[in-house]
Structure 1
Amino acid sequence: MTDPQLPDAIRAFVDATNTGDSDAFVAAFTADAYLNDWGREFHGHEGVRSWDSTDNIGVHSHFDVVSLAPGEGPDEHVVTLTVTGDGYNGTGPMRFTLRDGRIARLTIS
C-alpha cells in the first residue's frame, strides 16, 4: 500500500526509525512527550530515547504504514503500522497526539 499523507511529525517518526536515526527520532517528540507501550510508560526526550534504544531502533525496527485514520480530537491520529525487526513483529495501531508540529503523546496497544 502507498503511504497515506502522514502529518510531518509522524512521517519523521517513521522515517527516523527506518533509517536508524535516533536523534531525528527523539526530535519528532515534544520535550514533555508521553509514550505508553502496552502499559510501560516513558516521559520526555530521555524516556523516548530509552524506549527507542530498547524497543525500536535499538532492535532494528522497520515500519510500513498500513493506514491512517483520524483520532478522537483534532490533533489525534491513529496509524496502523506493520513492524518488523529483531524485537516485536506484527501489525497494530499507534495513537498519536500532536502539538506544535511534534508528537506529544504516543500510545501503542
Structure 2
Amino acid sequence: MAQAADAEGTVVVTTTAEGGRAGARALATAVRDQLPADRPGVVAVGAESGGGAVIVIAVNTAARTAGQDASTLVKHLLHGRGGGSPELAQGGGLPTGQLADTLAAVPGMFTAG
C-alpha cells in the first residue's frame, strides 16, 4: 500500500512493487510523473529482487531545483550502496525483512532535527 506524506514541504510517496527492479523503476517514474509540478516530490519504491530487496528513488524537477538528488538519497538510505542519476537512482543488497522499515524511514530524511 502506498503511503504519502508532506515532509518539510516535500511530497514523499513510498510503496512497494511487483516485478523486481524493473517493476520498481517503472512504478517510481509513473508516480513521480503524477506529482504536482510546483512542489518538490520524491518517490521511493521497494521490491523483492534476487533473494533480497531493492529501492528505487525518483525525484521531480521541483525537488531537483530544491537540491534533492535521487542518487544521494538512495546512498544515504542504503548506507552508501546504490547510485544512478540525480532524477532516478536505485540500490540493492537489502534483506527483504528490512524493506518496510527502510521505506518507512524515507519521510524522516526530509525533516529537521
What TM-score do the two structures reach when normalised by structure 2? 0.33
Larger proportion of helix: 2
Larger proportion of strand: 1
